[in-house]
Structure 1
Amino acid sequence: MTADALDESRLRDLIPGVLAALVHRGADFATAEDAVQEALLRAIETWPHQPPDEPRGWLITTAWRRFLDLTRSDAARRVRERRVSDEPPPGPTESADDTLQLYFLCAHPSLTPASAVALTLRAVGGLTTRQIAQAYLVPESTMAQRISRAKRTVGTVRLGEPGDLHTVLRVLYLVFNEGYGGDVDLAAEAIRLARQLAATTDDPEVAGLLALFLLHHARRPARIRADGSLVPLAEQDRALWRRDLIAEGVAILQAALARDRLGEYQAQAAIAALHADAQTVEETDWVQIVEWYDELVRLTDSPVVRLNRAVAVGEADGPQAGLAALAELDPALPRYTASAAHLHERAGDLAMAAALYVQAATQAQNVAERNHLTLRAATVRQRLAGET
């Protein structure tokens, strides 16, 4: 690594293996994580001037020494200090299995989803508490407490205990869906972590999740107008979509599907790929999209998936068919009212559509969505006024 080659994102890629190595050597998770963070900061300060020959080994050595310093300075840990050895001799510094186990640890079922996401970003992603707090738009002290509680919760859990890969994927999915806030792009961070996880396991669902992220992220440049308002998929300028990410996502997805072990993330990615494949909205293969939603319903039996399927049915078989499918679902579902408004608009029932758009705006989960639904209501009302 040369002095001008320091890339903080590449540096953070090393963090899971370094932290896993310390925990395997006997370090408790909370102190090890603090030591790794300090080693990371030290690397950022010194590597541009004194780049190491073995970056991972340098980080493990520096973090281990810092762990010993922290342990020795804490009288309450003297008993434990006698149990830890001095710096181990050089040897293997990381294994893919160690990194995967660290993901399992940060997504431990004893943690709440919010805590699991925060701990993953901190311990696996290498982000600072301040960066995570800014991304989630909460005070740094609040995020520090959340991370601290999470570290205490998993403090007695050892690497090597059975973990649930689906929980890990769900945590990364939550990270991606948080959007973009502060100085950390959480969608890009989720993609980076998913790439890292894909390098540690050959599970096709990991590849499916990475493909899903890439395919959704490819549409990002067309999703928001200059004034911050949302652009619906049907209205997006597809020339702005990133074809490099689409090609990569499709290739990863095809390789995963070829293994014939279908999972929900592969099915979601297949739907996203069909949208990405259409050069215009009119060319969208809605019939095949409905078929993939059928697979997704079979895999998850999720009411939200059924809601999205109803909208797709409305595109494939007409709005009345979509409304019939929607009528079978609970109106309390998120975005149920907005979906009903869209289908009524397509059916030509503009008065009902306008009223439902107004109602949906009051239920919106964020300002951008609320403004979009309010604008749709106003647009439909204008059309209605022009017909009378």
Structure 2
Amino acid sequence: MVLNGALFLLFCAAARAAAASGGDGPLLNGNFEHKPNRCQMNGTRVMRAHAIPYWTVTGFVEYIESGTMQGDMVLAVPEGKHAVRLGIESSVQHELRVTRGKYYSITFSAARTCAQDEKVNVSIVPGDPPGELPIQTVYTSSGWDSYSWAFQATQDVVSFVIHHGDDQVDDPACGPIIDAVAIRTLNDDPPQDASSSNMLKNGDFEEGPYITPGSPWGVLVPPMDEDDVSPLPGWMIMSDTKVVKYIDSEHFRVPHGSRAVELVAGLEVALVQEVDTVPGSSCRLEFSVGDAANGCVASPMRLQVATTGGSKSVDYSSTGTGGYARDALDFTAEGTRTRVVFYSAGYHTTSDGTGTLCGPVVDDVSLVCVPQPHARRLLR
């Protein structure tokens, strides 16, 4: 009976592991709270490839405990008591059980520990070439940010890799702290309301990356090439190094539903979507603009809205306590493809003096185009 009980417990543990590796939520030991054996470490450095449960490490990787000092600086651990730090030419790797052909978003937290321009490379093996995520700018006062990155699975078992390759410094330990790694299955073609003629995909932003419950800082969506898989299905983030912030109604005020996007990087980043249109069509782009109730006070807070057929500035007077307004842009489609663009015309920080970056919230976006009679004739 004891043996059977032990086998049953092992079976349950394996079932939980399989479910956790294939479902939405934190990866197995995604917060690094399951420690490596001390005999597999030299101080804080991890010396064996499989020392950290469920992870494979290469290069100079450290296992960091909350309160660890680097000179006069206390190293920030985003979640719980433990995290890893990636030194020069190092990586951490986690095996994922996924479904071939489906889309997924990975969320993880990163904190800088060095002065140089920090960035990490994220990739799926096998899969497309690595994507580079700039983490030099800290958007919150906590000392770390949560980032998202997306991919389409080419196999049923793949490996997710976070790599730090900066060799421009002398200290081999210098590099970012990584923590709180999670996954979410994306619906790359979110269903639309049957009564809606909205031409935009995911205009309400309800489909997006995993947000860790209880994390009050949202998730950053980094810049991407036009052929990259987006953590925000339907939308592209156009910038050199800056991001937009994906927020939820649990911690922020959002105009509609439970998710929205906050434009936190001013003129340096744009939220973009392209759709097929009939040249000469009469189009109306409607949207909500507001603030996230995070102390982002600005009068006015200016949102720039542009399409390939027209543009406008929308001024929203924000008291930082939440609220929104509806607005619209009417234009004539000029070609067979129309690009919709949102960006903040100003740079803002919260009024609490922490330097947390903030900006206008965009939500509930719809585009409706009606071909005019002469446009219909041209199509015949």
Q: TM-score, normalised by structure 2?
A: 0.30
Which structure has more RCO (C-alpha within 8 Å, separation ≥ 6)? 2
